[in-house]
Structure 1
Amino acid sequence: MNLQTSLLNEIYYENTLNLIRKSNHDFSWSDKLIYETFKNKNNIIFGLFNDKNLIGVSLYLFTLDEAELLYITLSKDFRNKGLAYYLLEDNIKILRQKSIKSIFLEVDITNLFAIKLYEKLNFKNISIRKNYYKYPNGKTSDALIYQLRIED
């Protein structure tokens, strides 16, 4: 594999949209909202490329010296290979260079793979939002809030 992480701009909107729709059928954002994420100056979007093929994306919102991981996904063919770790590790390095001091995220308490990934990267659970996620079947699930301090 020939991996590279890059910042994405709106030129990559279609590729990003296709990757998200193919990798996560339950992702609730509209196409318009995804496009607006590219246009918002308070967002940072990273792409993970294998050669020249976009295989992963991570979307962040930042304010002052804090960033929030809004979403991360990998192409189904590239999952379970340590690439989400690789992508996030690169994101953290780049965000540190941009003077970001903390990264926050929320994750469904049932998403054990993601929780394990975040804890491996030293994110710390700082809070819980009870019944935060609401599912079409009427069930709810708690959200765990994580933080990573990346100050030098």
Structure 2
Amino acid sequence: MLALATLFSFASNQTLPSASDLMVRSGQVSSLKYLSPLRGSKSIRLQLIDGSWYQYSSKSGDIETVYHALQRNNGQILHVGYVSGFSGSPVGDERQFYNVLSLKIGSQTLRDYQQIQDAWSSDNQLAVIMCKGLFIGGILLLVFGSALRFRGQ
């Protein structure tokens, strides 16, 4: 339990890059995939016609609405806000996926930077609460487990 508390404490320290570092790439969507693993968080992977890859995480909020809007896109230009160094790749995959930090279809804003930042902050607060609960639970188990073991001898 204490190990889980430590893990959650590291996860809760993730922050988004500054809005001033945001770059926007525009183009039509050439590939769209909704990932819903049995364990872990959902995400949307999309590729623009220029070959660049992006990932929209469920941590960014409202993933179902974003996915359905992207499905109904009808060839409109997509404007993706991202930061060059804020990316990752799945194990065994050479593609670089930039994290989506703002998203527009044509002139319609699906998610702006502030909405995504608020969703990340909310998710981080939940992780802090879980971390505290796991830490307290771990300490209580140690104390009561030791007391019961001592009493039984």
TM-score bracket for this pair, using the shorter chain length: under 0.3
- Structure number with higher helix proportion: 2
**Greater CA radius of gyration, 1 or 2?**
2
What TM-score, normalized to structure 1? 0.27
What TM-score, normalized to structure 2? 0.26
- Structure number with higher strand proportion: 1
Higher RCO, 1 vs 2 (CA within 8 Å, ≥6 residues apart): 2
